[in-house]
Amino acid sequence: MKLRDIAHSRTGDKGDISNISVIAFDAKDYPLIEAYVTPERVKDLFAGVVHGQVVRYAIPSVGALNFVMQKALGGGVTRSLALDAHGKCLASALLNLDIPDRTA
Amino acid sequence: MKTIRIGSGAGYSGDRIEPAVELAEKGDIQYLVFECLAERTIAIAQGAKLKDPTKGYDPLLADRMQAVLKLCHGKGIKIITNMGAANPAAGAAKIQEIARALGLKGLKVAAVSGDDVLAELKSGPHRIEETGEPASAMAGKLVSANAYLGAGPIVEALKAGADVVITGRVADPALFLAPQIFEFGWAMDDWDRLGKGTVVGHLLECAGQVTGGYFADPGVKDVADLARLGFPIAEVQEDGQAVITKVKGSGGAVTTATCKEQLLYEIHNPTTYFTPDVIADFSGVTFTQDGPDRVRVAGATGRARPETLKVSVGYIDCFIGEGQMSYAGPGAVARGRLALEIVRERLKLMGVKTTELRFDLIGIDSIHGEGLSNAAGMEPYEVRVRVVGRTETLKEAVRIGNEVETLYTNGPASGGGATKSAKEVVAMLSALLPRTLVTPVVDYVEA
């Protein structure tokens, strides 16, 4: 299945740093998300977009992870040449990640 | 236990006007807060102030005040906003003028300034955070430097009986924290409560983003009536407990899911959310659905505020030139790619001086690049070519769009809808300044 089947997401921006939340719709899927949405996989997925480190923070009380990605916004929101200078669409790209089915 | 209701009337400078009217009319609120300053807004407003000393505040200030001032005055709702941008005093004078025209006698307006630290940045020993370079070395390019003030001066204004408080750069959550501190008499070192009040401010500062705006994904996350999206209200108790809600019958939804998305919006380490008033800790926050469109928030905390204030630094960075052109029907993608190749070669042939160039096919790979878009073999009905480049002069920037436009008579068949633009870019960096170098000032005018 896709991450989008079990989680929702929003992107935020500060300078050249993008953060993406990944939030379980249902708390029981949080461990699955924690196991499969690793900073390494996120960095791989965004290899062509994010040029700095990716750090993951966990907020289990709301069933969410937060990925903070350096050098992610074309040199910074206010000077980027990108059509989506804020990187707002990154959240949707992350939700396309493949996740093993619960039963697997 | 004492409870207050705070409404969020705008989440960014261009936000919708009438949801704030709905809040004032039907929200049973005591405070209406408008957060209207993006990172770059003050730097741009600084230019307006230089041309005309009576300008430099938010361009929609008059429209928003015309819409709510009389209503708020009648009901005793206090207004707090950062729409002062680069010139809170001129913004206050404008509000005074509008209040007089509306016949609102005795309306007291406070202007909070002191955030402008451009002179200090130009001459002092301060470094730019992102580059490590001395700020003074780029003095010729600097257009603005504004320290993020905290809730303190707003609380002072409320204590002095202000009906409207207009500020320049203030940390967004502080606009919401200030009325809580004032109403509940929280101490400025009650870190736990300041942390709780800050999470409330953070949830409200983007207005509709917590009531179902920026959330809908049809079939997965449906939200009703976004055209009439209701803006949020925080019902806060003296002990810092809060409920996020909205006006009954307005569009949108307040659910634990909408609150979670907003909690993590523009957050880095959730245990360490820096503000001028407190280092808030969101890592233990919980949300509980208390009823339809009512979510209880608990569990935030905080610790001692940082000794430095963040400064947002605006500078003239470069120029950006851009051109776009559409192709449709069979072979659209191939013609679009050919168009990009032609412009790439033209920019070389003509010696257009750029420091960075980007070639996009909108509809194929413009947002995340070829890899993520899985662009190979994709054949949409239409595509739009986009060429954009960074230059050191406006003249060179103009040449980029011109080369795209000449695709009309020189490029592939049946391209249409060419657009072009060239602009100066005011970009933002940041610095940290010791608190002792920043002195907030509160001035008052009365209608």
**A10: which chain B residues are within 8 Å (Cβ-Cβ)?**
214-215, 261-262, 264-265
User: End-to-end distance of chain B based on CA atoms, in angstroms?
Assistant: 35
Q: Would the CB atoms of B264 and A47 count as touching at under 8 Å?
A: no
Kindly tell me if the per-residue pLDDT of A99 is higher than 90: yes
A27 lies within 8 A of chain B by CB: no
The confidence score (pLDDT) of residue B378 equals 85
Residue B370, pLDDT score: 86
For the record, the structure tokens of B161 come out as: 């009986």
Do the chains contact at B268 and A78, CB–CB below 8 Å? no
Average pLDDT, chain A: 95
Q: Give the Å distances, CA to CA, from A4 to A23, A89, B21, B210, B226.
A: 10, 14, 36, 20, 22
Asked if B244 and B325 sit in the same domain, the reply is no
Tokens standing for residue B393: 């002069």
Whole-number Cα distances in Å, B337 to A35, B364, B405: 40, 11, 15
Residues B245 and B327 in one domain: no
Asked whether residue B361 is domain-assigned, the answer is yes
Residues of B in contact with A93 (CB under 8 A): 368, 372
Arithmetic mean of pLDDT, B204-233: 98
pLDDT value at residue B371: 85
Predicted local distance difference test score (pLDDT) of residue B73: 97
User: If contacts are CB pairs under 8 Å, which of residues 28-87 in chain B contact chain A?
Assistant: 39-40
Q: Does residue B131 have a pLDDT over 80?
A: yes
Question: How sure is the predictor about B219, in pLDDT bands with cuts at 50, 70 and 90?
Answer: very high
ipTM: 0.97
* Per-residue pLDDT tens over the stretch B324-358: 999 999 999 999 999 999 999 999 999 999 999 99
Q: How far from chain centre, in Å, is Cα B265? A: 12
- B164-192 confidence digits (pLDDT tens): 999 999 999 999 999 999 999 999 999 99
Instruction: Indicate whether B237 belongs to any domain.
Output: yes
Tell if the CB–CB gap between A57 and B269 is shorter than 8 Å: yes
Q: Which is nearest to B282 in space by CA: A12, A57, A70, A22?
A: A57
Instruction: Please report the pLDDT score of residue A65 as a whole number.
Output: 98
Whether B264 and A23 lie within 8 Å, measured CB to CB: yes
The answer as to whether B130 is a domain residue is: no
Give, in words, the CATH class of A3-94: alpha beta
Token pair listed for B314: 């605006």
- B243: β partners: B235, B296
Q: Is A26 helix (H, G, I), strand (E, B) or coil?
A: coil
Is B139 among the domain residues? no
**Domain final residue, candidates B306, B333, B350:** B306
Q: Give the Cβ contact number of residue A24 at 10 Å.
A: 22
CB contact under 8 A, B372 and A12: no
The verdict on B344 and B276 lying in the same domain is no
Question: Is B131 domain-assigned?
Answer: no
- pLDDT at residue B40 in the model: 86
Tens of pLDDT, residues B2-53: 999 999 999 999 999 999 999 999 999 999 999 999 888 899 898 899 899 9
Chains A, B: CB contacts under 8 A, how many? Answer: 120
Query: What is the domain extent for residue B410?
Result: 313-430
Kindly report, residue by residue over B292-333, the tens digit of the pLDDT: 999 999 999 999 999 999 999 999 999 999 999 999 999 999
Q: Are residues B203 and B99 in the same domain?
A: yes
Report which of A24, A69, A88 is spatially closest to residue B214, judged by C-alpha positions.
A88
Residues B54 and B203 in one domain: yes
Q: Which residues of B395-423 are buried (b: 16+ CB within 10 A; e: fewer)?
A: ebbbbbbbbbbbbeeebbeebeebebebe
Distances in Å between the Cα of B105 and the Cα atoms of B75, B78, B85, B102, B288 are 14, 15, 26, 9, 43
What span, in angstroms and rounded, lies between the C-alpha atoms of B105 and B137?
A: 50
CA-nearest of B72, B153, B58 to B110 is: B153
| Nearest-by-CA chain A residue for B261 | A10
Share of chain B above pLDDT 70, in %: 100
Q: Out of B358, B362, B367, whose CB is closest to A89?
A: B367
Residue at B119 is within a domain: no
The residue ranges of every structural domain in chain A are: 3-94
Set of chain B residues whose Cβ sits within 8 Å of the Cβ of A8: 215, 217, 220-221, 257, 261
pLDDT at A104 over 80: no
pLDDT tens, position by position, B247-302: 999 999 999 999 999 999 999 999 999 999 999 999 999 999 999 999 999 999 99
**pLDDT score for B376:** 81
B392 CB within 8 Å of a chain A CB = no
Nearest residue on chain A to B39, alpha-carbon basis: A78
Please count the structural domains in chain B: 2
Look at residue B101 and tell me whether its pLDDT is greater than 70: yes
SS3 call for B346? helix
Tell whether B158 and B56 lie within a shared domain: yes
Q: Which of B285, B306, B327 is the last residue of a domain?
A: B306
Contact A22, A9 (CB under 8 A): yes
- Measured at the CA of B75, the angle between CA B82 and CA B95, to 5 degrees, comes to 35
- Per-residue model confidence (pLDDT) at position A15: 93
Q: Do the domain assignments include residue B135?
A: no
CA-CA distance, B406 to B222, in Å (whole number)? 44
Residue B376 and residue B264 share a domain: no
* SS3 label, residue B45: helix
- pLDDT number for residue B47: 86
Please check whether residues B203 and B288 belong to one and the same domain.
yes
The 3-state DSSP class for residue B305 equals: coil
User: Is B119 at the interface with chain A, CB within 8 A?
Assistant: no
- B7 assigned to some structural domain: yes
B14 part of contact set with chain A, CB < 8 Å: no
CA distance B369 to chain A (A): 7
Average pLDDT, chain B: 97
Q: Residue A102: what pLDDT?
A: 80
Tens digit of each residue's pLDDT (9 = 90 or more) over A20-60: 999 999 999 999 999 999 999 999 999 989 999 999 999 99
pLDDT of residue B421: 98
DSSP B217: B
- pLDDT tens for B43-56 read 989 889 989 999 99
> From the list A17, A21, A93, which residue is nearest B264 (CB)?
A21
A7 touches chain B (CB under 8 A): no
